[in-house]
Structure 1
Amino acid sequence: MSLTRRTAVRTLATTGVFGVAGCLGSSDARNWNLEENVAIATAQQYNAPGCGCCKQYASYLRDNIDGKLAETVPEDIVRIKEKYNVPEDLRSCHTLVFEDYVVEGHVPAQVIAKLLTEKPAIDGVALPGMPAGTPGMGGTKQGPWTVYAIGGKQAQGTYVEI
């Protein structure tokens, strides 16, 4: 498939925003670690090119899941998000795929555990942007985060607020 100028600009803009915005510093992941790891046989994380917090989030996941986590840096991260129906307004720097779910952004493992326990009829969940203090991000939490349910290429409302 050929790379159009629009796709190239969109990919570069996404990479630039996610590569610079908020990946500095380190989060206090101890606040988000679980007492018992989440059982996920295999998971695939798609990282934005040049984004350090994607690797930090993957490291956090490896500490909090029982299973294998693979990481890939695709040529077109936007295409991955489109493939998994992540709405534009809910996107972050990385996309995690496992079982029948997609997890967009710096979602704490507790939310992933809740998702796997409840098994709701949704495509996945998203914590949009790159909020300070989330797993893999630097800084301190500045108020509640809304994790949205995703379904059919749109937000389905709040899944959980943490």
Structure 2
Amino acid sequence: MKTTPVTRRSLLLAGVALALPAAAAPAVQGEIWKSPSCGCCKDWIAHMQAAGFALTVHETGNTAIRGRLKMPAPLGSCHTALIGGYAIEGHVPAREVQRLLKERPQAVGLAVPGMPIGSPGMDGPEYGGQRDPYDVLLVQADGRTRVFASYR
């Protein structure tokens, strides 16, 4: 077995390599439409950013985009996002969006109808630790849904 002698140069190069930060994965880009005055939407955006998503915010409301993205109105919430070609309606946890993007099912997207307390963006100190059970729904092209994840 041939060995390579440790030189001062190899030690310096190894030290430099260890000191450099690892290349971060690029952020997943997306867009969100919300009301300019909605605080829980801002909290959901912060949740998504902390998980590595980069969202462009449109402060124009979300009713029109919800229709354009074919998200059924009865599944509506206070904000609608478009991430990776999928509609994301309401307070969907980042880990479910990440799972959706990994699995890539044939679907319109995900929805958490309404604004359940304890969901991302609806979990601030003003809610006193309260948590309502809720489901994340996978919305199919025909408008039918199935439970993608449950939070109890």
Q: Output the CA distance in 2 between the equivalents of 1:46 and 1:129.
A: 16
The answer on 1:125 being equivalent to 2:114 is no
AA matched with 2:57 = E
Matched with 1:141 is 131
**TM-score, normalising length from structure 1?**
0.69
Matched with 1:62 is 49
Matched with 1:3 is none
Q: Secondary structure at the match of 2:144?
A: strand
Cα distance change on mapping 1:151 and 1:80 into 2, 3 Å: same
- The runs of at least 4 consecutive aligned structure 1 residues that moved more than 2 Å come to 37-41
Alignment of 1:78-93 (within 5 A): 78-93=63-78
Q: Output the CA distance in 2 between the equivalents of 1:136 and 1:41.
A: 19
Cα distance change on mapping 1:146 and 1:38 into 2, 3 Å: farther
* Conserved? CA contact 1:47–1:72, under 8 Å: yes
Which residues of structure 1 form unaligned runs of 5+? 1-36
The answer on 1:47 being equivalent to 2:37 is no
Q: Which structure has the larger Rg over C-alpha atoms?
A: 2
Q: Which moved more, 1:103-112 or 1:150-159?
A: 150-159
**TM-score, normalising length from structure 2?**
0.73
Alignment of 1:91-130 (within 5 A): 91-130=76-115
Q: Output the CA distance in 2 between the equivalents of 1:153 and 1:48.
A: 27
AA matched with 2:146 = G
AA matched with 1:48 = S
* Conserved? CA contact 1:93–1:129, under 8 Å: yes
AA matched with 2:45 = A
AA matched with 2:149 = V
* Conserved? CA contact 2:32–2:82, under 8 Å: yes
Q: Output the CA distance in 2 between the equivalents of 1:112 and 1:141.
A: 20
Q: Paired residues, what number?
A: 123
Percent identity between matched residues is: 29
* Conserved? CA contact 2:75–2:112, under 8 Å: yes
Deviation per CA, 1:24-54, whole angstroms, max 9, x where unpaired?
xxxxxxxxxxxxx996531101112421111
* Conserved? CA contact 2:84–2:101, under 8 Å: no
- TM-align CA RMSD: 2.0
Cα distance change on mapping 1:121 and 1:48 into 2, 3 Å: same
